[in-house]
């Protein structure tokens, strides 16, 4: 190795990402949240189904959902 150069190193990632899917009622502050390993359409649909079930949404109870996202540094 030449003087003044850095040695090459194989880096192995030692962490896994988890994503927070959160639903907040703006007036009451009530929250429903899930930690899931991926962000994709299938997982988002599962999160929405879980949220709807947790608040009792159905044929006689409707909810309005405003989607927002925020990336935290």
What is the pLDDT, as a whole number, of residue 73?
60
CA nearest 16: which of 44, 36, 45? Answer: 36
pLDDT digits (tens, 9 = 90+) for 4-60: 888 888 887 788 889 999 998 888 999 999 999 999 999 999 999 999 999 899 999
Q: Give the start-to-end residue ranges of the domains of the chain.
A: 26-54
Residue keyed to tokens 């040695």: 7
Q: CA-CA-CA-CA torsion for 63, 43, 53, 32, nearest 10 degrees?
A: -80
The model carries a pTM of: 0.65
pLDDT at residue 63 in the model: 87
């Amino acid at each position: 190795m030449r003087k003044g150069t850095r040695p090459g190193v194989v880096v192995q990632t030692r962490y896994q990402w988890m994503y927070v899917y959160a639903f907040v009622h703006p007036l009451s502050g009530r929250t429903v949240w899930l930690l899931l390993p991926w962000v994709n359409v299938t997982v988002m649909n599962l999160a929405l189904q879980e949220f709807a079930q947790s608040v009792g949404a159905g044929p006689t109870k409707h909810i309005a959902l405003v989607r927002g996202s925020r990336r935290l540094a």
